[in-house]
Structure 1
Amino acid sequence: MKIKIDPFVLSILIVVLLAYLFPEFGGESGPLPLATIGSIGISLIFFFYGLKLSPEKMKSGLKNWKLHLLVQTCTFLVFPLLVLCFYPLIHTEDDRNIWLAFLFLASLPSTVSSSVVMVSIARGNIPSAIFNASISGLLGIIITPLWLGLFLNAAATNYDLGDIYGKLLLEVLAPVILGLLLHRYWGKFAQEYNRYLTLFDKTIILLIIYKSFCTSFEEKVFSSINGVDLFVIGTAILALFYLVYFLTGFFSHQLGFSTEDKITAQFCGTKKSLVHGTVFAKILFQGSASMGIILLPLMLFHSFQIFAISFIATRLARRKEDS
């Protein structure tokens, strides 16, 4: 099987390299208003997200409630609980930052486009994939800050849950609601130009990643991370992905799901959204210099989940054709 490098993953690597070479352009004192561009871009991303959501499809998708419950439970409960098991092993501030990055990853919603595409390739339950991926993004607006708040509040940081929800309401939820209200008028336009809207989303995400890593490199945040740490982080990401993947498959079998529903549960229940993660990190951590570390496990997980699920989807599709 020929391995293809996802263009977006390659773009992320290039952006991180540029941040390392030219941190002065994206830092707090840089000449470019990246913070303002990012804030406006975030609102537009979620406006288009709402514009593409079909209320009719959302209503019809509620029927397969066991599948939806399993996917959302794995996304917002199983993932974080697995990471919580390692909380007693934290002994230093560096350990805590890396663990928080994993908790942030674990509490994020699922992806939308890639989940649906991979389910389609594997010939799973596509309508349920669309519903779960869409509803996951909305639930994440509420659930992700709650998980982080349990530990950031206890650390006496500037994490004000009321302020966080205010920003999420203004920059994320309000644009989504506005998009939903305008779906009947502009929904077809959004679907027709979805390719360009996706390109816009990725461009904004790359700008936010660039700014985050510029700040982290300027503050020398990564000086505490060595090759051993990176190996441990990478190994933990692989273990986390496969553990949730097999747990989701086990529960699907216990619930008597069809092959199509099992595929949807495993593909949607193991994904984490880089788009939501980058946006939420900007709001939840409010430009902290440690944002680079916070985003590091998420970016590695994003790259691996694309590779792993692509391989699995291709294998499942081939098996379907042979049978």
Structure 2
Amino acid sequence: MKRPAFLPDNFILALIGAIVLATLLPISGMAADVYDHFTTFAIALLFFLHGAKLSREAVYAGATNWRLHLCVLIATFVLFPLIGLASRPLLSHWLTPELFAGLLFLCVLPSTVQSSIAFTSVARGNVPAAVCSASLSNLLGVFMTPLLAGLLITTQGSAGVSLDAVTSIFLEILLPFVAGQIARRWIGTWVGNHPKLVKFVDQSSIVLVVYGAFSASVIEGLWQQLPLTSLAVLVGVAVALLALMLLLTFAVGRRFFAREDEIVLLFCGSKKSLASGIPIAKVLFAGGALGSVVLPLMIFHQLQLLACALIARRYAVAADRADVVTQPAGANPRA
């Protein structure tokens, strides 16, 4: 039975359910540690399957798409910080110094890796290019974020660089992807013949990340750290920032890139990494200020996951319709 057009699909319902469940029953303690390992396994499996699915020619083309990678880096480390600085005259009347420092800190963070690539896959974008762009953004972010934060934000702590982000990217993203490429000669045909499996792992990994990330935010006091009015202002600022970056990356992508690369720029250039941001924030900001500083990041992170899930689904539906239109008469279309 066909779902009515006004109802969200199962993927969106699963994301909403994950947020509600995390709000009511956030996972913590030893269970959170086990859950984190399970999520890591799911992410590694996702990139292993993508490695097995993609041809070496496609991977090479994604890695050498320097114009696209440069645009992603400019959006992440230039446009975001400039917008944050430009907002100071207006937001200084509405946000405390700690919250505005948190907004600037959000603006200098690298892009997400797992969700950016998963959303690109769901939207039928250029997955090899997304792997390269998101990974490069995070690798550079290990050094660029403390540097930019030191230049733009006055902190009580000292800047430092953690190698955890580099290790995570290698173990969770690059190593499984390379392993999938090696295994492609044996399982590539089977993976290609089961696209629903890759789609299920894509969407499941996103739901797992949403529940884990939102659980951590709730436990950190997402709903208790601010009065309702201040929280509303902060949410409004996060929505405006995300909407502006989505519009800018979409406009540039639509003007200068093919559809598959447009999707990469949209998802990799408009998002910020909670996984990288929290550890770096613990080094850069002292004591009691930490909670207020990371609150804008926690709110922005949840908003970007929801918005990008909706956008990815719309891209996927449009791609499915285009596939049906271009199918020859009597053909058997495949996802």
Percent identity between matched residues is 9
Whole-Å Cα distance in 2 between the matches of residues 41 and 313 of structure 1? 24
Task: Please say if 1:2 is aligned against 2:5.
Answer: yes
- Superposition CA RMSD, Å: 4.1
The TM-score, its normalising length taken from structure 2, stands at 0.68
Of 262, 273, 279, which aligns to 1:277?
273
CA displacement at 1:236 relative to structure 2: 2.5
* Greater mean alpha carbon deviation, residues 53-62 or residues 89-98: 53-62
Task: Please say if 1:267 is aligned against 2:266.
Answer: no
> Superposition pairs for residues 231-242 of structure 1, below 5 Å?
231-242=236-247
Preserved CA contact (<8 Å) 1:149 1:159:
yes
CA displacement at 1:142 relative to structure 2: 0.3
The TM-score, its normalising length taken from structure 1, stands at 0.70
Please name the residue that 1:122 is paired with.
none
Please name the residue that 2:50 is paired with.
52
Whole-Å Cα distance in 2 between the matches of residues 17 and 314 of structure 1? 26
* Greater mean alpha carbon deviation, residues 280-289 or residues 236-245: 280-289
Please name the residue that 1:131 is paired with.
128
- Letter in structure 2 aligned against 1:208: G
Whole-Å Cα distance in 1 between the matches of residues 15 and 291 of structure 2? 19
Preserved CA contact (<8 Å) 2:112 2:268:
yes
Whole-Å Cα distance in 2 between the matches of residues 79 and 275 of structure 1? 8
> Superposition pairs for residues 23-42 of structure 1, below 5 Å?
26=28, 30=29, 32-35=30-33, 37-39=35-37, 41-42=39-40
1:10–1:98 distance in 2 versus 1, CA, 3 Å = farther
Please name the residue that 1:298 is paired with.
301
CA displacement at 1:77 relative to structure 2: 1.5
Preserved CA contact (<8 Å) 1:248 1:266:
yes
Q: Deviations over 1:249-279 (max 9, x none)?
A: 33x1xxxxxxxx5212221110149999354
Task: Please say if 1:194 is aligned against 2:193.
Answer: no
Preserved CA contact (<8 Å) 1:274 1:298:
no
Please name the residue that 1:205 is paired with.
209
Whole-Å Cα distance in 1 between the matches of residues 203 and 247 of structure 2? 29
SS in 2 for 1:131: helix
Task: Please say if 1:146 is aligned against 2:132.
Answer: no
Whole-Å Cα distance in 1 between the matches of residues 312 and 107 of structure 2? 20
SS in 1 for 2:5: coil
- Letter in structure 2 aligned against 1:212: A
Preserved CA contact (<8 Å) 2:122 2:313:
no
CA displacement at 1:246 relative to structure 2: 0.9
Task: Please say if 1:307 is aligned against 2:306.
Answer: no
CA displacement at 1:306 relative to structure 2: 3.6
Aligned pair count reads 295
Please name the residue that 1:62 is paired with.
60
SS in 2 for 1:305: helix
Please name the residue that 1:160 is paired with.
160
Whole-Å Cα distance in 2 between the matches of residues 223 and 46 of structure 1? 39
CA displacement at 1:241 relative to structure 2: 0.7
Of 213, 216, 219, which aligns to 1:215?
219
Preserved CA contact (<8 Å) 2:63 2:129:
no
Preserved CA contact (<8 Å) 1:79 1:107:
yes
Q: Deviations over 1:102-133 (max 9, x none)?
A: 443x63357224323424xxxxxx6xx13212
Please name the residue that 1:82 is paired with.
79
Preserved CA contact (<8 Å) 1:46 1:176:
yes
Whole-Å Cα distance in 1 between the matches of residues 309 and 31 of structure 2? 32
* Greater mean alpha carbon deviation, residues 212-221 or residues 90-99: 212-221
Gaps of 5+ in 2: 284-289, 327-335
1:65–1:168 distance in 2 versus 1, CA, 3 Å = closer
